[in-house]
Structure 1
């Protein structure tokens, strides 16, 4: 499947060089190795514009590229890849945001891994109803059955994707998670907490005001507000919540830098501007300007 994917990328990169606007799309996106979202959108556009691409290649006399579109398994493979990249894009977008923590990351990944395992079982049984594009393509085939070789490729690809995700994202410690999220539910065994923290944990667990605050605030805000009253327990919770779960904040900083310090402003000292843009605190510009005198007219 990896070789087939590389083959798709080569053909698409050749097709995109001079293809103009088609159907509802203003332009066919260029393939980019850097951005996963761009790659997923490109594959979906190719799947939607197969007829136009074939016509374009025929008019241009690109017989070597046109021959790929005539392969028996080209369209089913393309339909499968379009769906998989779309799902990866959705996962990627779910992990982005300023308020994401390790629990949100873990929940999203576990959900996606469960989907991969479910897809493997269904594909092994010949059921591809969950792959909308592939199911549509098979409906147009006379026997409506998935080719055995393609079934094997898809199953192996799903297993490989599951293996890579498990290798890249390590398992999260369950007990730490229960301490941070389920301390009021009674599911956490007190014996799993260190002896010097147990008394303070019991005080927090039976604090009704803290429980009301927990239901109203986010995890990060709640534990920050509890730090003065329950320092030991809060310190454990904050050690779990503070690490960056993804590189989103770092990447958003680079994006902000590119937007502010462009070619026309290359001498600009961007530190103050970036601090204002990236800060979660809202700037009170009107309050700051009230005590400033406007430039008088000459």
Structure 2
């Protein structure tokens, strides 16, 4: 992790990355993968960071192919825009801000919820930079819509939010609640550390199949997986519109994840080598796959060990090509989850009250906050190194008159 000050153009990013790689004596020829959030200064075709990295790797090793991936979580989040539900989202966000952004309204609303024994005690703010935010906000507003309508009547503000009495809008709102609930469920599956790329892409592939199922059921006026929408009388009249939205979302998923699809066959081969047909595998792997699938000990190890431990247990002399492919696939980062998590930790520590926090101190704080290593306190105590800090002396005087 490096600090960037000033501009963040592609050439600035490349200079910083290049300096780190050279400082740590890492060979460019062994670079296997770069995963980004898809911003233009990273993915620009001519002067972006990825183009510069690709050119540098080709200079060192023309045969090396670097796998460039767009974070799978970011792509999933970007797919939501194809639904075109701004006519639902904007009024909901406006409603939440009306209640929560004004101190008096917020206090009165919380008291009103307590008096009516509502299912929740407050509304949630919407934040665009949080992956699950929109789905949770829509769900909370839907569950409190009756209390919100009553509160607006007490405040004589019902006319400012006519959508709450519009049946067609409520029907679209219900559809948004259900589809964003499914999207949030997928998003949670994509989060986490140490996730193999194939597992991430499998979740996305499964979701595309689910969208096809949703559309087919919706066309038959079945709302099995849309419980909120099923409560609305207008749902059956709008099935064509919702089917189109689901189809558009499915096509957007297919378009956006093309970079993962290119490596899908290799990922499947590494993830499930015992079930792969040697005839369809690359020529250099065919004989090794037959040997592996005929070895009963390897079959047992595959069932009992983690994928990384399984490949570590294979004989390097017997399976050199298969191990090389496994290394190339397992090291891929499917998402920038680790970076995003570290960035959140940094924001928590880099508060406005800590204006004198240096880059070195911040890096040390983040290393402690994110490391998996446990300190050896016994070894530190035996070294006998102690840091003595001076403390201010505080004296209190009191007088009696």
Q: TM-score range by the shorter chain?
A: 0.7 to 0.9
Aligned length: 288
Aligned pairs (5 A) from 1:182-197 = 182-185=272-275, 187-190=276-279, 192-195=281-284, 197=285
Q: Does the 8 Å CA contact 2:83/2:249 hold for their aligned counterparts?
A: no
- Matches of 1:86 and 1:183, distance apart in 2: 34
Query: 2-side partners of 1:88 and 1:58: how far apart?
Result: 33
For residues 135 and 247 of structure 1, the distance between their equivalents in structure 2, rounded to whole angstroms, comes to: 37
Provide the TM-score with structure 1 as the length reference. Answer: 0.84
Contact 1:69–1:75 (8 Å) recurs in 2: yes
- The TM-score with structure 2 as length reference comes to 0.64
Aligned to 1:177: 267
Matched, 1:151 2:242: no
Q: Which residue is equivalent to 1:263? A: 352
Counterpart residue number, 2:338:
249
* CA deviation map 1:66-86 (0-9, x unaligned): 321121212221111111111
Distance in 1, matches of 2:384 and 2:277, equals: 59
Taking the aligned partners of 1:252 and 1:114, their CA distance within structure 2 comes to 30
Cα distance, 1:255 vs. partner? Answer: 1.4
What residue in structure 1 maps to residue 215 of structure 2? 120
What are structure 2's unaligned runs of at least 5 residues?
Answer: 1-80, 100-105, 391-401
Cα distance in 2 for residues equivalent to 1:4 and 1:92 = 19
RMSD, aligned α-carbons: 2.9
Which of 93, 96, 121 is 1:13 aligned to? Answer: 93
Residue 231 and residue 39 in structure 1: after superposition, are their counterparts in 2 closer, same or farther (change >3 A)?
same
Deviations 1:250-277, CA, capped at 9 Å, x for gaps: 2112112223333344415222332343
Of 22-31 and 124-133, more deviation after overlay is shown by 22-31
Looking at both structures, which has the greater relative contact order when contacts are Cα pairs under 8 Å and sequence separation is at least 6?
2
Q: State the distance in 2 between where 1:31 and 1:206 align.
A: 55
Q: Distance in 1 between matches of 2:266 and 2:387?
A: 61
Where does the alignment leave 5 or more consecutive residues of structure 1 unmatched? 139-144
State whether residues 178 and 188 of structure 1, in contact with CA within 8 Å, keep that contact through their aligned partners in structure 2: no
Determine if contact 2:82/2:249 at 8 Å carries over to the other structure: no
Are 1:31 and 2:126 an aligned pair? Answer: yes
Distance 1:259 1:288 in 2: 31
1:168 correspondence with 2:260: no
Whether the 8 Å contact between 1:103 and 1:177 is mirrored in structure 2 is yes
Partner of 1:282: 373
- Counterpart-to-counterpart distance in 1, 2:380 and 2:327: 37
1:105 corresponds to 2:193: no
Distance 2:133 2:387 in 1: 51
Residue deviations 1:45-100 (CA, integer Å, cap 9, x gap): 11111112212222333344332112121222111111111111110000011121
129-138 vs 57-66, which moves further: 57-66
SS in 1 for 2:277: coil
User: How is 1:225-240 mapped onto 2 (pairs within 5 angstroms)?
Assistant: 225-226=313-314, 228-229=316-317, 230-240=319-329
Pick closer, same or farther for the CA change 1:203–1:133 going to 2, 3 Å: same
Matched with 1:141 is none
Q: Is the 8 A contact 2:215 2:243 kept in 1?
A: yes
Query: What is the deviation of 1:294?
Result: 6.5
